[in-house]
Amino acid sequence: MRVAATDRDTTLGTTGRAVRLLAAAVVLVLATAGTVWGQDSAFPFGPFRMYSTRSGTDVPVNSTRIDAITAAGVRGPIADADTGLRRAEIEGQLPRLIADPSLLELIAQSYVRRNPDRPPLIRIEIVVRRYELRAGAATGQYSDTVLAAWDADDTTPEPVP
Amino acid sequence: MRRLGRWWTEPLPMARFAVFRVVVYLFIPVDVLLTTPWVAWHADVPTELYQPLVVGGLLNLPLPTRLVVLGVQWALIVTALLAATGRSPRLLGALVFLLYFEWMVIAMSYGKVDHDRFAFLVALAVLPTVGVARWRDRGRSEAAGWALRCVQVAVVLTYFFAAWAKVRFGGWDWVTGATLTRAVIRRGTMWADWTLDVPNLLVGAQWLLLGFELLSPLILLARSDRARVAVVAFLLGFHLMTYAAITIIFLPHVVALLSMLPWERLRRVTEDSAEDSGDAGAASGTPSSPVSAPGGRPDR
């Protein structure tokens, strides 16, 4: 059986081998360069940076969420699937959303598209919960802060205290 | 250099490649519809929230409108299922790669870039280069060897470069920080929340994680089938544990990891059981000829 198997081996020609090794080398160089100098926007050759930043052992842990009030008057947090954006995506765009809270209207639009049968949102807040850490351990204390807010009837950006 | 080239194109069983390729293509509908549903959510997100990647600008990729997202989604699923049949592997495989790449651009262009799919993208890029391959093939092929090796190197680089990023962005004292504590606070499950009461445990886990990632290139030294199965089992255990703790699993990466398994043994197992059951003549002295007709087909 070994013999039969080797009989059917296929090899690469000189060109086929050279092209393949060159392609592998190019991808290796790009991936290495992305890791050493690149940023996220260089995907797929950006740095593999999930969980790569260091969280200080006495620095609060931030967790962002979206709170909303519906036209029916119900207040509560909105799930990722309802806005079409993951928490990390909201966090990635946070500076932009804080600078211009009227952009939150886009999230209200996306909510309506994803939930056509539910009452629309009349107020959206981006809230960050800061969990206190002491020497790397959670103390159980936390505080909530509204980073940006938008109201349906008032499209002018609302200053956040 | 020459030795490296020979290592990278070492002939590997065509059957191993053939099974791996089907697994990869069949995983795509699972990924798109079930395990990574949030990419398709972007169909409903106004394009003002689209934050284009460099590649989106370079290739002039279209704005991900609802039509574009849903069109790419369904074209990708259909093409992947067709590619899984093994027909026109070069054409369909290239289409799957291009569509999946665009799918990833849609995924990563809204403010968060993940790195769980580098090896899977590499797999999709190299799979079409091998041509026709069947799981009953008995030969070894250098083209298949190159493709499988590329995927394995990409798997290892995902770990190794993740370590590099930790040192680059977090510094060497990343290991003594509270990164895993932060992860558990934000996403911890009932299986992980208790670790918050034991801070040194998670710091210890950070040492182990960085150590493992830095040493990951050693994975490529696993030569025997047994060693590679053990490596895959270890890595699967690692990813399952991560999933149990913070519900993050690098599923496409895990699928790429399967390129290390000796899939050609499946054929032997099924043929042995056919012989055991006294299958008509198959066991009578010419065990290899009738079933392996397509085996010698050149791969180019």
Per-residue pLDDT of chain B (300 residues; tens, 9 = 90+): 788 989 999 999 999 999 999 999 999 999 999 999 999 999 999 999 999 999 999 999 999 999 999 999 999 999 999 999 999 999 999 999 999 999 999 999 999 999 899 999 999 999 999 999 998 888 999 999 999 999 999 999 999 999 999 999 999 989 888 888 888 988 888 888 888 887 688 889 999 999 999 999 999 999 899 999 999 999 999 999 999 998 888 899 999 999 999 999 887 777 777 666 544 444 444 444 434 334 333 333
One domain, residues A68 and A141? yes
Q: Which B residues, 176 through 215, put their C-beta within 8 Å of a C-beta on chain A?
A: 176-183, 185-186, 196-197, 199-200, 202-203
Give the DSSP letter of residue A60: P
| Per-residue pLDDT at B240 | 93
The answer to whether position A24 is within a domain reads yes
Give the DSSP letter of residue B87: S
Residue span of the structural domain in which A74 resides: 61-151
| Per-residue pLDDT at B290 | 39
The amino acid sitting at B6 is R
One domain, residues A25 and A42? yes
The answer to whether position A5 is within a domain reads no
The answer to whether position A67 is within a domain reads yes
One domain, residues A66 and A47? no
Residues in chain A with pLDDT values less than 50:
1-7, 155-157
Q: Which long-range CB contacts under 8 A does B265-270 form with residues at least 24 apart?
A: B265/B225, B266/B15, B266/B19, B266/B135, B267/B15, B267/B135, B267/B136
Question: CA B145, CA B128: separation in Å to the nearest integer?
Answer: 13
CA distances from B82 to A137, B26, B263 (A): 51, 10, 21
CA distances from B259 to A13, B123, B159 (A): 24, 9, 16
Pair B111, A90: CB distance under 8 Å: yes
Phi, psi of A14 (to 5 degrees): -60, -45
| Per-residue pLDDT at A5 | 39
One domain, residues A124 and A83? yes
| Per-residue pLDDT at B199 | 65
Mean pLDDT across chain A, nearest whole number? 88
* C-alpha Rg value of chain A to the nearest Å: 25
| Per-residue pLDDT at B276 | 61
Pair A88, B25: CB distance under 8 Å: no
Chain A residues whose beta carbon lies within 8 Å of the beta carbon of residue B177: 54-57
| Per-residue pLDDT at B98 | 97
Question: CA B35, CA B157: separation in Å to the nearest integer?
Answer: 23
The answer to whether position A6 is within a domain reads no
One domain, residues A79 and A141? yes
Structure tokens that stand for A136 in this block: 């790397």
Closest by CA to B64, choosing from B42, B83, B79, is: B42
| Per-residue pLDDT at A112 | 95
For residue B2, give the chain A residue with the closest CA.
A21
Q: Which B residues, 107 through 166, put their C-beta within 8 Å of a C-beta on chain A?
A: 108, 110-118, 121-122, 129, 137-143, 146, 150, 153, 157-158, 161-162, 164-166
The reply to whether A146 touches chain B by the CB within 8 Å rule is no
* Helix or strand (DSSP H, E) at B109: none
| Per-residue pLDDT at B277 | 59
One domain, residues A145 and A73? yes
Question: Between the CA atoms of B193, B31, B152 and B14, what dihedral angle is there, to the nearest 10 degrees?
Answer: 140
Closest by CA to A110, choosing from B255, B265, B66, B213, is: B66
Of A46, A81, A93, nearest to B41 by CB-CB distance is A81
Other beta carbons within 10 Å of B77: 18
One domain, residues A25 and A101? no
One domain, residues A72 and A114? yes
Q: Do A54 and B174 touch (CB under 8 A)?
A: yes
One domain, residues A69 and A95? yes
B109-143 in b/e form (b: 16+ CB < 10 A) is bbbbbbbbbbbbbbbbbbbbbbbbbbbbbbbbbbb
Question: CA A127, CA A61: separation in Å to the nearest integer?
Answer: 13
CA A32, chain centre distance (Å)? 23
Q: How many helices (H) and strands (E) does chain A have?
A: 6, 4
The answer to whether position A77 is within a domain reads yes
Q: Do B199 and A57 touch (CB under 8 A)?
A: yes
One domain, residues A30 and A104? no
The answer to whether position A21 is within a domain reads yes
Question: CA A132, CA B22: separation in Å to the nearest integer?
Answer: 48
| Count of domains observed in chain A | 2
Give B141's strand partners: A10, B12
Q: How many cross-chain Cβ pairs, A to B, lie less than 8 Å apart?
A: 227
The answer to whether position A140 is within a domain reads yes
One domain, residues A98 and A147? yes
Which ranges constitute the DSSP H helices of B176-263? Answer: 179-187, 199-215, 225-246, 251-257
Chain B residues whose beta carbon lies within 8 Å of the beta carbon of residue A65: none
The answer to whether position A133 is within a domain reads yes
Could you check whether the bond before residue B217 is cis, i.e. omega within 30 degrees of 0? no
One domain, residues A67 and A143? yes
CB neighbour list of residue B7: distance below 8 Å, 6 or more residues apart: B149
| Per-residue pLDDT at B287 | 42
Closest by CA to A130, choosing from A60, A25, A79, is: A60
Q: Do A61 and B186 touch (CB under 8 A)?
A: yes
Best probe of the B interface among A50, A100, A104, A139, by most B CBs < 10 A, is: A50
